Amino acid sequence: MKKITLISASFILASSTFAQTLQDAITKTDNERYAAAASDFRALIAKEANKGDNYFYYGENFFKKGDLDSANMYYQKGAELNATYPLNYFGLGKVLWYKGNTADAKTQFFKASELGLKKNTEVMRKTAETYIEAENKSLDEAIALLNTAIKIEPKNAENYLLMGDALLEKNPTEGGPAIKQYDKFSELNPKSPKGILRAGKLYQRGRNYQLALDLYKKAQDLDPTYAPAYREKAELYNLAGQKANAVESYKKYLELNNSDEARIRYAGFLVINKQYAESITESEKTQNAGSKDMYLDRYLGYSYAELGNKTDTAAYTKGLKAINRFFEKAGSNFKYSAVDYKYKGILLAKTGKDSLGILEMEKAAQVDPKLANEVTREIAKSYMKAKKYNKAVDTYNRIMNGDPKNLNAQDWYEFGRAYYYDGGAKQREKKDVEALDLFVKADTCFSKLTQISPAYAIAYFWRGKANVQQDVKDEKGLAKPHYEKAISLVKPEEKALVKQNLIEAYLYLGSHFAFSKEKDLAKAKEYFNLVKELDPANKPANDFFKSPAGK
């Protein structure tokens, strides 16, 4: 993360162009200035083509930005040109480890260790770091390696930084031991902000946001060019809901690291921050500058799906094209997230490809059960849009899973509509008994909605509609109390918003008082006049006033 204190653009440019030493280039990698570091590594290799460490740390630059294949290429080149330098063999092993080939990885780690005469603490640290950071962790082995490195080289601060990471991963709820290690690092290397940043991240993880923020600021003050401090602070502000501060901190990060990689991360950050329009602008700007990075297409897909066609009539189409490009670039071996499938499914459904969209959303639910309810709701919406009402009913039953508390107000509304329209479909098929049962269930759903939102007029309008279908000849007046309640809840300024619902309710009540057992022609005329106020050309109302009852 980068620090708030700014340095001049001319200094940044100069330092990114002329690396004095290998350490300068490594520091740029640590600062996430990958493009600037790459330029320096290329210059170093041009000067010293057979030095193994130039290739290893260039490989590390690729590895840290997620490009394992390029990293592996430079580790391999370094091993070929300098067969006695141990770290390139470690690098080859690390790539294997991250790809799940742990047996061959350990063979390379052993080779690196042997070339280091078994006392090369850098090999130990790098191997331990792999065991800590990879998904397939081996924390006990990491701790054992670091303990050995500390015995051999007790004054090397990096030992303690990694030991803190290992202890925290092993016992995530016990931060004290890790903090002691980070403090030891800072004691041995007081000019480095890395220990302070690690401690800040630990406190952020424990939701002590103020202390985390204080530490990020301290890291920035110690080294104003340390980019990660700005990024961490931006993410902290995001967690705290301070979007403006979050974006401002990330912009400071970009001032220090104005590279494609940084802008791609920024576009992703904007998605996390729910600033979808801004993410689209950043992603398309970076693409127009020549980047073909697949993650930009991912962010565009997500963002267009969230914004929808209200802000851009072609948003869903653009989003689908982007998410399809992402899947094409990522390929079949990429480990897609549930969110990838979710947004692809939503975009397919929104562009008329409902069946394909549902298949993608089902994949999302399988990949991450935590997303199941959210995705299943989207599936239900897709079934409603496709007029597959019986499948929508089944889907809401799946969400409910036997417990009505699993459904929220919006769910009950959609659930009721699904039953209602499915009942209409059965009516058209002359399956009146099945239709009646569905209308009763629709009414039950809308009744649940009125219990959750007793002042929500639409719920009562729908209860009226469902009861009309249960009492088609109006022999029992089942719909009457629900329409009356709905009308009573509509405020004068809301009438235009629910005009059609009001007309339907007024027509029902007018007809009820004109022709049912509860005949009251004065009331009937009152309701038919209300219809004409909203729709002067309404045929049923005008027909009533032409009839003997309406004169």
Q: What is the pLDDT of residues 110-141, one digit of tens each?
A: 999 988 655 689 999 999 999 999 999 999 99
- Sign, CA dihedral 98-102-106-108, equals negative
Answer yes or no: CATH 3.40.190.10 is held by domain 119-190.
Answer: no
Quote the pLDDT of residue 217. 95
Written as one string, the DSSP assignment of 239-304 is HTT-HHHHHHHHHHHHHH--SHHHHHHHHHHHHHTT-HHHHHHHHHHHHHTT---HHHHHHHHHHH
| Residue 298: HSE in the Cβ half-sphere, 13 Å Cα cutoff | 21
Q: What is the pLDDT of residues 500-524, one digit of tens each?
A: 999 999 999 999 999 999 999 999 9
Mean pLDDT of 365-378: 89
The pLDDT of residue 14 is 33
Question: What's the pLDDT score for residue 362?
Answer: 92
- pLDDT at residue 261, rounded to an integer: 81
Angle 354-367/372-385 helices, nearest 10 degrees? 170
- The residue ranges of every structural domain in the chain are 119-190, 490-551
User: Span 178-206, mean pLDDT?
Assistant: 95
Assign 18 a pLDDT band (cuts: 50, 70, 90).
Answer: very low
- How sure is the predictor about 273, in pLDDT bands with cuts at 50, 70 and 90? confident
Query: Which residues have CB under 8 Å from 386's CB, separation 6+?
Result: 354, 355
pLDDT at 477: 96
Average pLDDT over residues 38-46: 94
Give kind and range of the element (H or E) at residue 322. Answer: helix 315-330
pLDDT (mean) for 357-384: 91
Is pLDDT of 7 > 60? no
Model pLDDT, residue 20? 66
Would you give the DSSP letter of residue 310? T
Cα-to-chain-centroid distance, residue 75 = 34
Using alpha carbons only, how large is the chain's radius of gyration in Å?
33
| Dist CA 80 CA 58 (whole Å) | 15
The predicted pLDDT at position 3 comes to 31
pLDDT at 491 over 90: yes
Which of 12-16, 158-162, 330-334 holds the top average pLDDT? Answer: 158-162
CB 64 within 8 A of CB 51: no
> Rounded mean pLDDT of 436-442?
97
Q: Is the pLDDT of residue 294 over 70?
A: yes
If you average pLDDT over every residue of the chain, what do you get?
91
Q: How far apart are the first and last CA of the chain?
A: 80
> What HEC string does 163-184 produce?
HHHHHHHHCCCCCHHHHHHHHH
Query: Which whole number is the average pLDDT over 215-228?
Result: 92
- Rounded Cα distance between 518 and 156, Å, is 93
The pTM is what? 0.69
Please give the pLDDT value at position 117.
58
pLDDT of residue 119: 65
pLDDT-derived band at 267 (thresholds 50, 70, 90) equals very high
- Three-point CA angle 6, 9, 10, nearest 5°: 130
What's the pLDDT tens digit per position in 227-260?
A: 899 999 998 998 888 888 998 999 998 888 878 8
Structure tokens at 60: 């590390």
What pLDDT band is residue 36 in, cutting at 50, 70 and 90? confident
| Residue pLDDT, tens place only, 79-118 | 999 999 999 999 999 999 999 999 999 999 999 998 865 5
For the chain, give the percent of residues with pLDDT over 90.
Answer: 80
What confidence tens digit (pLDDT) does each residue in 443-468 have?
Answer: 999 999 999 999 999 999 999 999 99
Average of per-residue pLDDT across 266-276:
91
For residue 121, is it left (φ>0), alpha (ψ between -120 and 50) or beta? Answer: alpha
Q: Average pLDDT of 382-389?
A: 92
Q: How many residues does the chain have?
A: 551
Supply the pLDDT for residue 51.
93
Lowest mean pLDDT among 237-241, 351-355, 535-539: 237-241
pLDDT at site 279: 95
Q: What is the reported pLDDT for 116?
A: 65
**What is the model's pLDDT at position 259?**
81
User: Can you tell me the mean pLDDT for 360-366?
Assistant: 93
pLDDT reported for residue 35: 84
